[in-house]
Amino acid sequence: ALRVSQSVLPAAELTARPDINNETDWPALPSQTAASTSTPLSAQAQKWTSAKGRSITKSQTQFHVELGNRFTPLLNDQGSGSNEVNTQPSGTAKTESASGKQKLHGRPKQQPHTLIVGDVSVKDAQKMFSSNVKVICLPNDTVSDLADKILHIVADYPHLKNVVIHFGLNDLAKEESEVLKQDFTHLLKTVSCLLPKVFISGPISPVRKGDLKFSRIYSLNKFLSSACAALSLNFIENFPIFWERGHLFRADGLCLNKAGVKLFTSNLFYFTI
């Protein structure tokens, strides 16, 4: 009955409703052609495809930057990868290392300004001074031996300002006072021609060695003081500083202990500054 009532609709009304299907009298569905030719849908799909393309290009660029990292060769196995990637960082490291060595070798060594030459009494003196002071210990040499060597020793240090000489301990053991005075006179005349200031360090008074030993050392101290004044050399007085001060000596009564060496070097420094 419903279909009969709809079929009797006027023809003019059917013409005004093109969406009505004549066979079923139901509204007609949109055709696939109209959906496929929809411009907005096509444009949206194209834009989405273009965005995907840009995202892929960006990820490829980031991946390339990671490969270009200079720490990448550290992650590679030995023998893998191209030679260019593996050898360039190592070559750079070798170049930097070589330049560092050149800088170390090219740096001039600091030349000492004060030279101290002495017998066994100065063997521990270097610990008390900085790099500006060079201490040379000749424990077995006598005064005459030093007279033959001193000019050659000083020539090895062209920037010296002061030369300190402390000798005579080995000569005093021979108990030949007049020979010792002659040897010292020869030494003083030899060093008087040096350009740096020359300081003669006087003998150190021993303890518990008897009156004869004390008399010889005291006589030598007076002789050196007057001889240095005659040749315009500087004399460093050590005798009264160590007189009857056994706590500054070792058990033998001749060599200084740590406190004695500190006092001795302080006295040398006081005269040479």
**Model pLDDT for residues 205-233, shown as the tens digit of each residue:** 878 777 888 888 999 999 999 999 999 99
pLDDT of residue 15: 52
Residue 272 scores a pLDDT above 60: yes
Which tokens go with 52? Answer: 């995907």
Residue 58 scores a pLDDT above 70: no
pLDDT of residue 4: 44
Higher pLDDT, 270 or 9: 270
**Model pLDDT for residues 123-137, shown as the tens digit of each residue:** 999 999 988 999 999
Percent of the chain with pLDDT over 70: 60
Calculate the average pLDDT of the chain: 75
Higher pLDDT, 123 or 77: 123
* Whole-angstrom distance, CA of residue 28 vs CA of residue 9: 18
Residue 178 scores a pLDDT above 90: yes
Give the predicted TM-score (pTM) of the model. Answer: 0.60
pLDDT of residue 205: 85
On whether the CB atoms of residues 251 and 206 are closer than 8 A, the answer is: no
**Model pLDDT for residues 137-166, shown as the tens digit of each residue:** 999 999 999 999 999 999 999 999 999 999
